[in-house]
A and B are shown apart, each in its own frame.
Chain A
Amino acid sequence: MSIDRRDFIKIAGITALSGAGGFSVLDKMLGEGLIEASETATEATSKKRWGMVIDVSKFKTEEDYKKVIEACHRTHNVPDLGNPKDEIKWIWTDTFEHTFPGQETDYMAESMKHKPFLMLCNHCEKPPCVRVCPTKATFKRPDGIVMMDYHRCIGCRFCMAACPFGARSFNWKDPRPALKSVNAEYPTRTKGVVEKCNFCADRIDKGLLPACVEASNGAMLFGDLNDPDSEVRKALGSHYAIRRKNELGTRPSVYYIIGGKENA
């Protein structure tokens, strides 16, 4: 088929026009915020999003922390290797300065400065660990829980580097010999996988509360953050609560009520 100059100009003109049209559609989408919206929108409100509220003022004695941590670690067969280098932790404590870096002041109450704060995986809405996992071993469930599939974990530890909260531990050795008691209903982990808190996904699926919440005697609350009538939302609506490293934009699901009822 040969093409004369007249036809060529016609075709070129139509192509140029349709190209311009394509750009105008993109402009329209940007103008209406359709493209940007997909990056900032939170989860649809009809879905569940599990969250936790920790009322710091209700933790008074060493015993209060210990029973929560032990309940978790006993339920999930988390070993105590007795060596900070090999430590495996799902829920643990640290100082205010390390829990909420940048929020500390020179004139903070001594009691607050040295108070231990409970920490666990924040089950972020935008989890950086999930983004970096090369095997999708760590993933986010539709209800907001950031889960580990130990069958898939290859132990590359990208997720440990990505997590800004230090919530992940690596199994440098077989954890089994270090277990004091074994919960036969839950698996252990094996050498070479990364592990972390799973918000007790196995218990939630059965309709139970997480083990730590159950053991906390009301100092920790658990519920659906998307449900305005849930216990957690009521607590958040009536108290001032903060999250860890809010400025990083990972949108944690674990909230801390610092003041408590008496001095809020």
Chain B
Amino acid sequence: MYDRGKVIAGIIIFLALVTFPFFYKTGKANVQIEPKINTPVIEGLSEKKCVESKEFMRANHMQLLNEWRDAAVRDGQRTYVASDGKSYAISLQNTCMNCHSNKKEFCDTCHSYTGVKPYCWDCHIAPMEAKR
């Protein structure tokens, strides 16, 4: 084989570059994406609870929002009775975002990390956020 030294060195450099990200991350914890819930409205709640449990909301908020949309727009049903019996007005803008008034730190942190781009805010008005 001609240029044996150069070829082998090249292969080693190539493999080192390709596998660098794996070695670099080994032993380190993954980035923790933690949506913030420290809004004034939530801080003022006696019991810090969304319409359903945190685990349910984390996994199923998109389905719940779809159901809410169909209930309010298509069926004219504008009250949601949660599994614990409490009722809530069905409204993204007026119910969800009343508590979660920090869209950038709540919605956007996970959505940008996972690369989802929901088109809610094309029409629905995001709450005014204080510039920091």
Contacts and interface: CB of A to CB of B under 8 A. Distances in A.
Given A184-B93, A205-B78, A189 B73 contact: no
A141 interface: yes
Chain A interface, >50% SS class: loop
Contacts of A206: 78
Interface in A155-183: 182
A150 B120 CA distance: 11
B25 interface: no
B76 interface: yes
Nearest to B74: A149
Contacts of B41: none
A118 interface: no
Nearest to A77: B125
Contact of B69 (A147, A151, A201): A151
B124 A187 contact: yes
B94 interface: yes
A147 B125 contact: no
A189 B123 contact: yes
B122 interface: yes
A150 B123 contact: yes
Nearest to B77: A205
Contacts of B123: 150, 187-190
A137 to B, nearest CB: 10
Interface string B109-125: 00000000001001111
B76 A185 contact: no
A126 B128 CA distance: 41
A70 interface: no
A99 B127 CA distance: 40
Nearest to B122: A190
B94 A149 contact: no
B76 A143 contact: yes
Contact of B125 (A143, A151, A187, A205): A187
A68 B128 CA distance: 28
Contacts of A139: 74
Contacts of B69: 151
Contact of A184 (B73, B74, B125): B125
B125 A188 contact: yes
A188 B69 CA distance: 15
A188 B73 CA distance: 15
A205 B73 contact: no
Interface in A184-203: 184-190, 201-202
A202 B72 CA distance: 9
Nearest to B69: A151
Given A184-B93, A206-B78, A149 B73 contact: yes
A150 to B, nearest CB: 6
Interface of B: 69, 73-74, 76, 78, 93-94, 119, 122-125, 127-128
Closest 10 CB pairs of A and B: A190-B122, A187-B123, A187-B124, A205-B78, A149-B73, A190-B123, A184-B125, A205-B76, A188-B123, A185-B94
